[in-house]
Structures are given as C-alpha cells and as structure tokens.
Amino acid sequence: MKIATIFLANPLLQPNIGLMFWTLLTFVILLLVLRKFAWGPIMTGLKTREESIE
C-alpha cells in the first residue's frame, strides 16, 4: 500500500486547518493566563526556596 493511499484513506492523518487554529488559540490563551497568574507565585516560591537553601 502506498503512503499517499494511507493518507487519503485515514481522515485522522489529514490536517484540519480549523482544528489547528482553535488548538493554537487555546494554547496561547492558556499561556497568557498562566503567565499572568502562575508565573509570579512560582518564581516567588523558587526564590524563597533558594534563599532557605543558602
């Protein structure tokens, strides 16, 4: 069986532009939310831990 036949026969292997767009948009939104709300507390905890180790 040729590779082209496999790609045409299986819709899971075909790129879906709409799905890629929404996946990328969701990832960027999640990244921005985590940067705003999680990055500060994580860095504060790491600095506190580093100071307690020294």
Report the C-alpha gap between 19 and 17 in whole angstroms. Answer: 5
Give 6-48 pLDDT, tens digit per residue.
666 666 667 789 999 999 999 999 999 999 999 999 999 999 9
Give the model's pLDDT for residue 23. Answer: 97
Q: Which residues, at least 6 apart from 13, have a Cβ–Cβ distance to it below 8 Å?
A: 6, 7
- Assigned domain for 28 exists: yes
Q: Which amino acid is at 32?
A: L
Number of domains present in the structure of the chain: 1
Domain for residue 30, yes or no? yes
Handedness of CA 19, 21, 24, 30 (dihedral sign): negative
pLDDT of residue 10: 66
State the residue range of the domain holding 35.
15-53
pLDDT category at 3 given cuts 50, 70, 90 is low
- What is the predicted pLDDT for the residue at 34? 96
- The rounded Cα 52 to chain-centroid distance in angstroms is 32
Give whole-number Cα distances, 24 to 13, 17, 28, 33, in Å: 18, 11, 6, 14
